[in-house]
Amino acid sequence: MPENAATLAETPVTALKGVGPKNAERLSRLGIFSVQDLLFHLPVRYQDRTRIVPIGALRAGDQAVIQGQVELADIRYGRRRSLLVRLADGTGSILLRFFHFSATQQANMARGSRLRCFGEVRNGPQSLELVHPEVQRVDEDATVEVEQALTPIYPTTEGMHQLTWRDLTGHALALLGRGGLQELLPDAVRRDYTMPELADAVRLLHRPPPDQSQRLLSDAGHPAQRRLAFEELLAHQLSLRVLRQRQRRRGAPVLAGDGELQRRLLADLPFALTAAQQRVLAQINADLAQPHPALRLVQGDVGSGKTVVAALAALHCIEADCQAALMAPTELLAEQHLRNLAGWLEPLGVEVGWLSGRHKGRRRQTTLDRLGDGTLQLVVGTHALFQDDVVFRRLGLVIVDEQHRFGVHQRLALREKGASGQVPHQIVMTATPIPRTLAMTAYADLDLSVIDELPPGRTPVSTVVVADSRRDQVVERVALACREGRQAYWVCTLIEESEALQAQAAEDTAAALTEALDGLRIGLVHGRMKATDKEAVMAAFKAGGIDLLVATTVIEVGVDVPNASLMVIENAERLGLSQLHQLRGRVGRGAQQSHCVLMYHPPIGGIAQERLGVMRETTDGFEIARRDLEIRGPGEVLGTRQTGEMQFRIADLLRDQDMVADVQVLADRLLREHPERVAPLIRRWIGDRVHYANV
């Protein structure tokens, strides 16, 4: 293209004929601001209007253009008034059915008229039918052309009709023909991966020739679609690689102690680390000894022992005269970490501090002062840790738990808490396993470790799914378990987010169960209780002073009671797979066989049935994560659907996962051989929409 010509990425969509202020505003709702954005707004499906199909060849489900003569036109009066028109072409006949019609339309479809129609063929009471097809009257001698390409159907927004989309994309394709879409993948790369040119792929997807496979296009398996999806996945991979490179250019404290504190804790623990825990700890220790910041994601299923690995990593940092911080997304989880870490580390002479949004006044200031002068070596907290007034003397390690609850930019905010221009090492942990393909794409800025082994003695939890009509039997099962000396959870769930309603439901359930289970000691925990009251109930449950704990989903994380071997989850159909798996992980922590009862209120939808079926079939967190990805999609699994991160225009992490390995190889190759292409690729596909590209 000419040197002075604007690229379509720089050409505003308002430059197109037909885009005035109103349409510009409508397009902006879909993230379309430039002509390039419009060209990357691809059809979701296609209609074949390129040929006239003989009526005799039609099958139910076909979308087709037909042409014939009206044999009969009649108004029927039943439950709904309707116009029925029988159309025939010599090969067969079909019924056209209209529930809404004007006198003019009726006159145009009188007996003997020739019509061309387009619609979806359905099975009717007596014959095949088209309900409310598009109809065009055809004169006997006139030649009416058919479409020359498959007709695209675009994802749309209010006020934007399909004819408008076809018109606008037609104008954009005319500009494309003048070379305004830059080819950013080198010729050698396209040859190696047998890819079409970008402009050719875009042109084909907006106006596919009739010989293109509709099935392949509808499944997004066409080479042109895969070409665009590949480039978009590549841009996201590159953005995270660039972020990682930037991070690594900054210095981090070299944490190399003598290992004495780690050895003492390991000697004090009442259990030995699993081989998987030892492997991951060795990876972390090696990371912390480097002069550039560690960025490691530690995945581990519920109960795999991530917290003790985090404690050992913190000790490695403290031995090197640096401070460590552990950040959790909720106060309840942070409090649980505080109790565990204090129990393990304070006997070694390491004080564990606590900082949350609730802390005010002198108590907060004392904690801040001790972090500032270095006397407090380890602090546990919520997002309050990255507030401006929190200053560390020498922060060496940040551990972020349940990282999917934080955006990338949030977890990176703590890096600025390092001293003397250095950034702290970072370990992010999750008990919500992420399928490997997804992790490789979404967390390309992180090294990946997996604790893929449960401690010995853990028995898989047996799971049953029952309707709430059998509630009395479930209550009897709870009574039997508790009378045999075991403990149980009864989890209440509500659709409403209101903590007041959640608390009320739990209180009502606790009262009903207290009446039904005379003689059992029943405790109650919900989100509106004071922290001290919650802790007292949890401590009593752990000590065996409570037989049955009625709770809201606040007990999803952080409770470890080995004698609890039964969990009942009420209205289980209202929870997602990840949350159900987390809750179930509260039982099965001792040697005895444990059980989980998922109680639902019928009728339930297909997705809820599928979720409950998965829970019944497997206790493997990674298998559950894979199925969760299939059911909910990547944006939901990663917790990014509402945040704007990892949003794809064309690629789909589930559908296109077979590309991820090649994308990773190519990302390395471009960074090495074609660094000048990297920024334009990121700008094209991500632009300013996503925080992590520019963190």
Q: For the chain, what are the domain ranges?
A: 13-46+151-219, 51-137, 220-457+658-695, 462-618
How does DSSP assign 666-680, residue by residue?
A: HHHHHHHH-GGGHHH
The Cα–Cα gap between 466 and 602 comes to 10
Flag whether pLDDT at 107 surpasses 50: yes
Average pLDDT over the chain, rounded to whole?
Answer: 84
Q: Token pair of 63, please?
A: 């979308």
Distances (CA, A) of 42 to 166, 224, 581, 650: 11, 11, 37, 8
The pLDDT-based confidence of 58 (bands split at 50, 70, 90) is: very high
% of the chain surpassing 70 pLDDT: 88
Out of 3.40.50.280, 2.40.50.140, 3.40.50.720, 1.20.58.220, the CATH code matching 51-137 is 2.40.50.140
Of 55-59, 98-102, 523-527, the poorest mean pLDDT is in: 523-527
pLDDT of residue 641: 37
Question: Can you tell me the mean pLDDT for 368-389?
Answer: 86
Going by pLDDT thresholds of 50, 70 and 90, the confidence category of residue 645 is: very low
The predicted pLDDT at position 240 comes to 83
What class has domain 220-457+658-695? alpha beta
Query: Class of 462-618 per CATH?
Result: alpha beta
pLDDT at 626 over 90: no
Q: Tens of pLDDT along 392-421?
A: 888 999 998 875 555 555 555 666 666 666
Q: Please tell me the predicted confidence (pLDDT) of residue 559.
A: 61
In one-letter notation, the amino acid at residue 224 is A
pLDDT at 502 over 70: no
130 within 8 A of 115, measured Cβ to Cβ? no
- State residue 3's pLDDT score: 35
Mean pLDDT, range 345-355, rounded to an integer = 91
Same fold, 220-457+658-695 and 462-618: yes
Q: Is pLDDT of 319 > 80?
A: yes
Q: CB–CB of 611/636 below 8 Å?
A: no
pLDDT of residue 5: 40
Give the mean pLDDT of 87-105: 92
Residue with the larger pLDDT of the pair 500 and 365: 365
Of these ranges, 37-51, 348-362, 613-627, the one predicted with the greatest mean pLDDT is 37-51
Model confidence at 54, pLDDT cuts 50, 70, 90, reads very high
For residue 119, the model assigns a pLDDT of: 93
Q: What are 438-465's pLDDT values in tens digits?
A: 666 767 677 888 888 877 767 788 999 9
* pLDDT of amino acid 640: 44
Contact 492, 550 (CB under 8 A): yes
Calpha distance 164→152 (Å, rounded): 12
- For tokens 């470890």, the residue is 560
DSSP codes joined into one string, 118-175: EEEEEE-SSSEEEES-EEEE--SS---PPPSSPEEE----TT--HHHHHHHHHHHHHH
